Structure 1
Amino acid sequence: MDKPTLEVYCLKQTGASHDYQVDWKADRYHVGGKMFAMIGGDSQGKPIITLKCDPARAEELREIYEEIIPGYYMNKTHWNSIYLDSTIPDELWELLIAHSYTLVFEKLPKKLQREINMTVFVDNKNR
């Protein structure tokens, strides 16, 4: 999968924002100030995306796809890293990004969730 496509998938999530962490040489994607995706490289500079994942699902995905590994520099139980040159199906990339986003969004305070949803509603109404 190419990085520009993954960036589009990340930024189309409701209320998503982006920054670049210079020290890590990584693009990070947040919702409500919490990261749900990071695109960078492993210790050899091989491009990866790191996504939050339900622990049981994370293990299952690692067993099915050798290109999905425990989260690089992240909690190995709750995060997976996927090599961008992976052979996983195209539609799975977007599903995994949406899953990561949902896990992070649902942990945000309810008030912040409502604010994010309201901002999107107002933005769409003003178009």
Structure 2
Amino acid sequence: MDQKSVHDYLQSKPATFITQPFAQDVDVYKVQHKMFATLSEGKEGQVDANGEPIWWLNLKCDPDEALLLRDEFPAIVPGYHMNKRLWNTIILDGSVPEEKIKEMIDNSYNIVVDNLPTAQKEELAKIAASLNK
């Protein structure tokens, strides 16, 4: 997945909004004011075969799953500038399959939603239901 398709998929999650509290070049994706993803250009000057920057995606993750994913994919590393136990960085260099990235995005979003107070979960459920009509 490239930066645009990742961005579109992140934004498709119910009640998601973007902020830039860290820097203008770091998009932070939130649900109910809780961060579930960041998307930014890689910090090490990485470029693809076309000379385009390689983007980095930070996602929340179950600690055990985080380790398994890092073992399986060289492009998944401990979360850059994040809690290394709870966050992974996916280097969007094309080596991680699109369906795996979508699954990780879904998991990150769900981890945040599952930890919301009941009232916020109910509000989110209403929003999601209205989108599915």
Q: Identify whether the pair has TM-score above 0.5, normalized to the shorter chain.
A: yes
Aligned: 1:14 with 2:22: no
Aligned residue type for 2:58: T
Q: Which residue of 1 aligns with 2:26?
A: 26
- 8 A contact 1:42–1:72 mirrored in 2: no
Segments of structure 2 that go 5 or more residues without pairing to the other structure are 47-54
Q: 1:98-126: per-residue Cα shift (whole Å, max 9, x none)?
A: 0000001111101001011113334555x
Shift of 1:64: 0.7
Q: For 2:101 and 2:126, how far apart are their aligned partners in 1?
A: 27
Segments of structure 1 that go 5 or more residues without pairing to the other structure are none
Q: 1:16-68: per-residue Cα shift (whole Å, max 9, x none)?
A: 11223462620111111001010013432442000000000000000011110
Structure with greater helix share of residues: 1
- 8 A contact 1:24–1:40 mirrored in 2: no
Q: Which residue of 2 aligns with 1:89?
A: 97
2:112 to 101, 104, 118: 104
Shift of 1:9: 1.1
Q: 1:50-89: per-residue Cα shift (whole Å, max 9, x none)?
A: 0000000000000011110000000000000011114111
Shift of 1:91: 0.7
Normalising by structure 1, report the TM-score.
0.89
- 8 A contact 2:57–2:89 mirrored in 1: yes
Q: For 1:24 and 1:55, how far apart are their aligned partners in 2?
A: 29
Aligned residue type for 1:11: Q
Identity of counterpart residues, as a percentage? 34
- 8 A contact 1:15–1:117 mirrored in 2: no
Aligned residue type for 1:62: R
| Secondary structure at 1:36 match in 2 | strand
Q: For 2:79 and 2:24, how far apart are their aligned partners in 1?
A: 14
Runs ≥4 in structure 1, deviation > 3 angstroms? 122-125
Q: For 1:121 and 1:28, how far apart are their aligned partners in 2?
A: 24
Distance 1:31 1:45, change over 3 A: farther
Q: For 1:88 and 1:123, how far apart are their aligned partners in 2?
A: 29
Q: Which residue of 1 aligns with 2:123?
A: 115
